[in-house]
Amino acid sequence: MVKKTRDRFIEVARSLFARKGVENTTMNDIAAASDKGRRTIYTYFKSKREIFNAVIETETDDLLRNLRIIVAKPISPEKKLCEYVGTRLDTMREIVSRNGSLRAGFFRDVRKVDRARNLISKKEIVFLMRILTEGVESGDFDIPDVKEWAILITNSINGMDVPYIRDSLTEYGVDKEKIKIMLADLILNGIKVR
């Protein structure tokens, strides 16, 4: 029952945040839309920020699941990395697009973007470390410090989220598909054995 109630609050909050925006949604709104009392919501979440983080974490579960599948595939580390980049960008775009006015807040408040990213970046770094380690062990990648490169690659991909979601590089002749290819090539050219 506890998990169901908590999950219900998260789903209701996600829906309200998407429709009304995070700033315009109160804890009372979430409690009322969940058919629960205000005290009940506070037994699960101390603040709106905490429930917002839970919504983001739930939304990013799909992303992490998709990335985990890529890491486990029996394909070359180079192909994994290319697929990883494309999947990461596409899934983030879907998450942001699916959430209505949450999307506007995503673009407006850099701190919210950073908080949301911090929830998943550590897991993404671990996934990339696995791919990079596999590439080093197979002799495909030349990387002096796998962890540092995984951190750098994660942050490089994160830096492309907003331009990719907004499709703002088309004015330079770089569409979404080209972004995925170019970013993967940029990363691979930096780490491939020559």
Domains of the chain: 53-191 (1.10.357.10)
pLDDT of res. 129: 97
pLDDT tens digits, residue range 67-105? 999 999 999 999 999 999 999 999 888 887 776 655 555
Q: Is the pLDDT of residue 106 over 80?
A: no
Length of the chain: 194
pLDDT tens digits, residue range 153-190? 999 998 898 888 888 898 999 998 899 999 998 998 88
Q: How far apart are CA 47 and CA 115, in angstroms?
A: 15
Task: Provide the pLDDT confidence category of residue 107 given band limits of 50, 70 and 90.
Answer: low
Identity of the residue numbered 134: E
**Residue corresponding to tokens 């905490």:** 50
pLDDT tens digits, residue range 48-72? 989 988 888 888 888 899 999 999 9
DSSP-based three-state secondary structure for 123: helix
CA angle, corner 154, sides to 132 and 89, nearest 5? 105
Q: Is the pLDDT of residue 113 over 80?
A: no
